[in-house]
Chains A and B, each alone.
Chain A
């Protein structure tokens, strides 16, 4: 068994885990992050991409609202490349409570969430597809954020401080030495074998899986209930501003423009397992209907892909129930020394992507306290290496990039403007990467054709540069198509049917992918 040694192990490669890694590394700790699959494959990679102005919480959760407003301002600077400053609108549609708007405006003032009421005509000028029957409109500082870029920003920053990241490392044991947690054992799902990592501290940032990890450490009853939310990405940006219903928080009350698409979200259903998230057709219909309230014609627009994410809803009877400070933030930090008498182990869960940096700060502060160190948090002051150009993301940036290189670098994914060299570089560096890993890096296959044209090209490139033999290349292709299909079959109506049929002709009819030789690689 391979073994490693470090100061802190962070379990979980979502926004929170990567934020904890960065925070710990910046405070001078040697840190290793372990993630059971790819970075951002869990909840962080499955939300609608909203960077909260705080507006959504001003009435129901004022403290969260203020924190969101502060964190959004910080993230727009330290992770500029991941954030698009779209701005947001809260609009009162005919389906909303007209009384709420005044409550909303007052609560924004009370919580320091910047807001400005604008004329309905001005809102419609900014967003011409918006329901013309809206009666009030408020401009707020909502933005959208690429969760994957945010995670890699954290990771690259942490690496500059010496941190390490091990993806596809599945924690099978949390090691104990008496009342102290002293490391973990992971299964390496890419190269095989086991890895033992010794450390004086383990931080559980397992999100919706945090309860399972706490169990392994002998700290039972950390109850994280998965709240499944269904979201749908539409083929193009029907709005360029985040548009919210000015109504108490509810299902399908927001459309977020992110990259080339816009996302309607979300539903909220408690489910048993975070690893089994169906996408019920009635919830898909519910989202399309909800979109219609904000943007008439939404139902007829082309839906590209549906997916479900699992919110971590923390329910803890012994500590968190009276820990109102943390519950009010929507985040839950468990001090297992206080709660279970176990040293060297902390759990952070709940919360939202917008406040991940603050969650990391809270839990790393707790670690410092337990260790008796005085090392202040600096994550809010230092720009991530990926954001040093200081420019926020804009939707046109790839089109501008291709303007410069399109004659020399062929397009592989035409929908999302991914070039051959982007894929080649990634596969050369990480030959084990699945096409979904590449997708999370560069949006391969996330556009209208949903991998119909780019996946076979990427397969060919992987084989051509020697990263994959023929059978493995086939497996990667099939796995990618299978995973795309999960998000397609429930939204098949209108234009996406034409696309899917064409894709099927290509893969089944022409390439006969089902019957190509298989390598029987370890699946994901």
Chain B
């Protein structure tokens, strides 16, 4: 275990703030709570042994670490203990599969219509549930017919007027939600940036959250070399909240990586909304935004808290005339990356997200907005409301769509 994280358990005063905020413990007794499995349970763990399977019910949302008034790295301790447990007990085929979006993406992209039809087919989903224990109602994303990288190949870049940026699109924007990737690039180019999109792989986050730390580290390593290789010292913009956080913090804090390139890349990685709001704060964001008359429910994903940047999407959307943003103030949508896909955890994930789903449904909105892709898929599947990245509204307000 990363010693810095384990040592933080010394700060715990048993105040129970984390337990009171844990969205999972609130809906199921199967999870004993972040304090229990974190600073408390860790004192009973010895390297090489694992006796508390209930730890696996932690969704990894990270709210505990965020709310801890004593700065205990609760979620990080739990993630590392889970990794120890999984490396002892073995990792299922399912967990190995759902933690590799690049592999599943590459396999299904060429046959997207077939793959998507299969995923929409009730029988096929039952089979998936029976064999791989992926819940038949879980929000699996549809594959795009054309990947972002393929789209990039066929286009010419606009000339740069104000500098160069590296775009870290991640797996989701490449294979599943190509629109988000395309719109991010188009907005940045509209603002005058030259956008570099080096060939890049998965950040390793799903591997990490499924306890496959060694594989995750390899992915981080390749990714940071690729991003750094595009141009040393250039700012990097990410449209995936959780993948951006991997580079900013989690690769170091959870995977324990002490890599100079990682440190450099992490320090200049920005969430797209963070980046745009920063431009605005410096008076450099054009405000020729066309009005959109819309009241929009917005959910700040758990991973955004880890960035420690507030809710820049809200500030940005409020710049668009006519837009009214209603914040969900909900703890978590429940999916937590791949947690809510698992058959044994699906009901918990749905119970965690219930207040959010009810809020969205009650508003009958044309759109819902959330920064993180797996959360968007969860919200859309649970509520039937189309859920988009905030960049979609900016894109539209700039007249790009």
Task: Please list the residues of chain A having a beta carbon within 8 angstroms of any beta carbon in chain B.
Answer: 128-129, 235-237, 240, 260-261, 297, 301-302, 394-400, 402-403, 406-407, 414-415, 417, 447-449, 452-453, 494-495, 498-499, 502
Q: Are B3 and A129 in contact (CB under 8 A)?
A: yes
Contact residues in A for B6 (Cβ distance below 8 Å): 236
Stretch at the interface among B44-52, B91-99, B150-158, B291-299: B44-52
B residues within 8 A CB of A449? 13-14
Provide the residues of chain A in CB contact with B14, threshold 8 Å.
414-415, 448-449, 452-453, 499
Which residues of B30-69 have CB atoms within 8 Å of chain A's CB atoms? 32, 35-36, 40-47, 49, 51-54
Told that A236-B42, A403-B54, A453-B14 touch, could you supply 4 new A-B pairs with CB distance under 8 A? Answer: A235-B10, A395-B45, A448-B14, A502-B13
Contact partner of A399 among B9, B13, B44, B47, CB < 8 A? B44
- Chain A residues with Cβ below 8 Å from B225 are none
Contact indicator B46/A240 (Cβ below 8 Å):
yes
Interface membership of B287, Cβ < 8 A: no
Contact A499 B13 (CB under 8 A): yes
A301 lies within 8 A of B51 (CB): no
A sample of 27 inter-chain contacts (CB < 8 A) reads A128-B3, A236-B6, A236-B10, A237-B43, A240-B47, A260-B44, A302-B11, A395-B46, A396-B51, A396-B52, A398-B44, A399-B44, A399-B45, A402-B52, A403-B51, A403-B52, A406-B54, A414-B35, A415-B40, A417-B40, A448-B14, A449-B13, A453-B14, A495-B10, A499-B13, A502-B13, A502-B15
Interface residues of B in 1-30 (CB under 8 A from A): 3, 6-7, 9-15, 29
Q: Whose C-beta in chain B lies nearest to the C-beta of A498?
A: B13
> Which residue of B is nearest A452, CB measured?
B14
What is B's interface to A at a CB cutoff of 8 Å? 3, 6-7, 9-15, 29, 32, 35-36, 40-47, 49, 51-54, 70
Q: Measured between alpha carbons, how far is A502 from B14 in the docked complex, in Å? A: 9
Contacts of A415 in B (CB 8 A): 14, 40, 43
* Chain A residue at minimal CB-CB distance from B8: A495
Please give me the residue from chain B that is nearest to A302 by CB atom. Answer: B10
* B43 and A498 within 8 A (CB): no
Give the complex CA separation of A399 and B45 in angstroms.
8
Please indicate the chain B residues that have their CB under 8 angstroms from the CB of A260 in the complex: 43-44
* CB-nearest residue of chain B to A454: B14
Main SS of chain A's interface residues?
A: loop
Q: How far is the CB of B89 from chain A (nearest CB, A)?
A: 13
Given A260-B43, A498-B70, A394 contacting B13 (CB threshold 8 A): no
- B12 near A417 with CB under 8 A, answer no
Q: A402 vs B54: C-alpha distance in the bound complex, in angstroms?
A: 10
A499 CB → nearest B CB, Å: 5
CB of A301 within 8 A of CB of B3, answer no
The residue of chain B having its C-beta at the shortest distance from the C-beta of A297 within the complex is B7
CA distance A406 to B11 in the complex (A): 25
Which residues of the other chain, B, contact A302 by a CB distance below 8 angstroms? 10-11
Minimum CB–CB distance from B5 to chain A (whole Å) comes to 12
Check B51–A399 contact: CB distance below 8 A: yes
| Neighbouring B residues of A235 by C-beta, 8 Å | 9-10, 43
Q: From B53, which residue of chain A is reached at the shortest CB distance?
A: A403
| Chain B residue contacts of A397, Cβ below 8 A | 51
**B51 shortest CB reach to chain A, Å:** 4
Contacts of B70 in A (CB 8 A): 495, 498
Chain A residues with CB under 8 A of B43: 235-237, 260-261, 415, 447-448
Across the interface, name the chain A residue whose C-beta is closest to B40.
A414
Q: Which residues of B contact A396 (CB under 8 A)?
A: 44-46, 49, 51-52
Interface centre among A129, A403, A447 (most CB of B within 10 A): A403
Are B44 and A395 in contact (CB-based, < 8 A)?
Answer: yes
Q: Which residues of B contact A236 (CB under 8 A)?
A: 6, 9-10, 42-43
Bound-state CA distance A388–B321 (Å) is: 77
| B residues near A128, Cβ cutoff 8 Å | 3
CB-CB nearest in chain B for A497: B13
Residues in chain A near residue B32, CB distance under 8 A: 406
A302 to B44, CA, bound (A): 16
- B10-A301 in contact (CB<8A): yes
How many angstroms from the CA of A371 to the CA of B54 in the assembled complex? Answer: 60
The 5 closest A-B pairs by CB, nearest first: A400-B51, A302-B10, A399-B44, A260-B43, A396-B51
B12 with A448: CB separation less than 8 A: yes
Contact partners of B42 in chain A: CB under 8 A:
236
User: Is the beta-carbon distance between B10 and A394 smaller than 8 angstroms?
Assistant: no
A128→B3 CA distance, assembly (Å): 9
Give the complex CA separation of A155 and B11 in angstroms: 39
Residues of A within 8 A of B45 (CB): 395-396, 399
**Residue of A with least CB distance to B45:** A396
Report A-chain residues with C-beta under 8 Å of the C-beta of B35: 414
Inside 8 A of B44's CB, which chain A residues have their CB? 260, 395-396, 398-399, 417
Q: In the assembled complex, which residues on chain B have CB atoms less than 8 Å from the CB atom of A447?
A: 43
State the CA gap A414–B37 with chains docked (Å).
11
Return chain B residues, CB-CB under 8 Å to A453: 14
Report the Cα distance A400→B46, complex, angstroms: 12
CB-CB under 8 A from A448, the residues of chain B are 12-14, 43
A452 contact set on B, CB distance < 8 A: 14
Task: Give the residues in chain B near A301, CB-CB below 8 Å.
Answer: 7, 10
- Considering the complex, give the chain A residue whose CB is closest to the CB of B50: A396
**Which residues in B have their C-beta under 8 angstroms from that of A499?**
13-14
Complex: how many Å from CA A499 to CA B14? 8
Question: Which residue of chain B is the closest to A417 with respect to CB atoms?
Answer: B44
- Docked Cα-Cα span, A85 to B54, in Å, equals 27
B219 to chain A, nearest CB (A): 25
| Chain B residues in 8 Å Cβ range of A395 | 44-46
A395 to B12, CA, bound (A): 20
CA distance A236 to B45 in the complex (A): 10
Q: Are the CB atoms of B10 and A399 closer together than 8 Å?
A: no
Q: How distant is B42 from chain A, measured CB to nearest CB, in Å? A: 7
